[in-house]
Amino acid sequence: MATIYDVAKAAGVSPKTVSRVLNGDAPVNEKTAKAVRAAIDQLAYVPSNAARSMRSQRTGLIGMITGAISLSPGFEAAGLPDIYIVQGAQRVFAEHGLTLLIADTGNQASRIPELTQTFLEHRVEGLIHVAEFHQQIELPPNPRQTHVVLANCFDNQGTPSVVPDDEGGQLELVKGLIARGHRRIAYLMLPERMIARGLRLSGYRAAHKAAGLPVDPALTITGALSDRAHEFDLLWDALDRLLSLPDRPTAICCANDKMAMRVYAILRERGLSVPGDISIVGYDDYRIITEHLHPTLTSIELAYAAMGARAADRLLRLIAGTTQSDEPVIERVAGSITWRNSVADLSKVVTPFQMRRNDQ
């Protein structure tokens, strides 16, 4: 591949002049510059980043490690949208002329040190760890040779993090249901060990408190298991308990859209209509489900792309040294709610005919 010397020779100038044309860091006579550019085109010259970064100490690379980071495995991998975090971040970095290096742990936290080492060899200017679901992690005690930001996870070492606002999200969702006249709102929760479970439950309670409504413990039930086994039975039983309550709930919050999809099926099997007999909301706003289910499912997005972008922003500020001293270590990103047809508005009178029209 052609070098800057080849170009210099072809254009009849010194390499340094070619460099100046490329970087525009000093005035070059227009005629000379034209000759240089011609030589560059003719030789299809592409400057070497390796050589450049040796002098400048800037590689323009950012590392990203995805996949299960958790040192304690055992959760079913969501397997899905953490990739949107990557996309969100990539977009921001691209705008700043930075290129993203990515590596996946393939579910083995033990591989993190070697991947980090590789990135350090490439002299990344910063590193983002992305988890598959909101969780606490523990990074190997790596001497911090570079800037690190965590996305969709956090640690107890004070590493800057960007996570979903689970508490605020559930709060808004339940507030919205209350605003639509619902008073008995059930909540099918995530598996026990998941961080989001507790946070969302707090949000659920806070919404009740804000509206002066009591929280009935009979309405909050675990709706999913971490190991996936017997999940359908669990859900069936949970709904059984909810529906046989003396004062049946008018709405059910599901821990995610997948669960909502199953709840649809179970309710249908029992001859109950959504939202006629009972309203359903999901979580994640996983569009392929929410928009294509029938009726379309109300849900709140897990703002993955936004989290990726925010994490990237944060890393850029760390690199630039412009981080505000009063920035919180953990930054929460809220997603927005899309109200679709799975929720009945009990505060208005709705005839069956109107309802049917609304739905699709």
Q: Which residues bind its own copies (CB under 8 A)?
A: 1, 44, 46-54, 59, 61, 79-80, 83, 86-87, 90-91, 94, 99-104, 106, 117-123, 143, 145, 232, 258, 261-262, 264-266, 268-269, 286-289, 292-294, 360
Neighbours of 247 (CB within 10 A): 10
Q: Choose from its own copies, DNA, none: what does 273 bind? Cβ within 5-8 Å by kind.
A: none
Closer of 58 and 193 to DNA (Cβ): 58
CA neighbor of 149 nearest in space, from 128, 163, 131, 132: 128
Q: Interacting stretch for DNA, rule CB under 7 A, among 20-28, 172-180, 237-245, 315-323?
A: 20-28
CA neighbor of 201 nearest in space, from 212, 181, 186, 180: 186
Closer of 31 and 348 to DNA (Cβ): 31
Please select the residue that binds DNA; options are 45, 93, 204, 286, rule is CB under 7 A.
45
Closer of 45 and 283 to DNA (Cβ): 45
Q: Interacting stretch for DNA, rule CB under 7 A, among 26-34, 199-207, 270-278, 308-316?
A: 26-34
Q: Choose from DNA, its own copies, none: what does 101 bind? Cβ within 5-8 Å by kind.
A: its own copies
Closer of 15 and 176 to its own copies (Cβ): 15
Please select the residue that binds DNA; options are 13, 137, 224, 306, rule is CB under 7 A.
13
Q: Choose from its own copies, DNA, none: what does 94 bind? Cβ within 5-8 Å by kind.
A: its own copies
Torsion of CA 219, 224, 226, 227, to 10 degrees: 140
Q: Choose from its own copies, DNA, none: what does 26 bind? Cβ within 5-8 Å by kind.
A: DNA
Question: 244 to each of 214, 239, 253, 280, 322, how far by Cα in Å?
Answer: 19, 8, 17, 17, 57
DSSP three-state, residue 196: helix
d(Cα 9, Cα 254) in Å, to the nearest integer? 69
Please select the residue that binds DNA; options are 10, 19, 82, 165, rule is CB under 7 A.
19
Name the minimum Å distance from CB 164 to its own copies.
19
Show the 3-state SS of 76-112. CCCCCCHHHHHHHHHHHHHHCCCEEEEEECCCCHHHH
b/e string for 260-283 if b means 16 or more Cβ within 10 A?
A: bbbbbebbeeeeeebbeebbbbbb
59 binds DNA (CB under 7 A): no
Q: Choose from DNA, its own copies, none: what does 15 bind? Cβ within 5-8 Å by kind.
A: DNA
Question: 12 to each of 61, 355, 360, how far by Cα in Å?
Answer: 33, 79, 70
Q: Choose from DNA, its own copies, none: what does 20 bind? Cβ within 5-8 Å by kind.
A: DNA
d(Cα 340, Cα 344) in Å, to the nearest integer? 9
Name the minimum Å distance from CB 57 to its own copies.
9
b/e string for 95-106 if b means 16 or more Cβ within 10 A?
A: eeebebbbbebe
Q: Choose from DNA, its own copies, none: what does 103 bind? Cβ within 5-8 Å by kind.
A: its own copies
51 binds DNA (CB under 7 A): yes
Question: 229 to each of 40, 196, 226, 267, 346, how far by Cα in Å?
Answer: 62, 20, 8, 21, 36
354 binds DNA (CB under 7 A): no
Please select the residue that binds DNA; options are 34, 38, 41, 54, rule is CB under 7 A.
54
Is the Cβ–Cβ distance between 138 and 71 less than 8 Å?
yes
Chain contacts with DNA (rule: CB under 7 A): 1, 3-5, 12-20, 22-23, 25-29, 31-33, 45-48, 51-52, 54-57
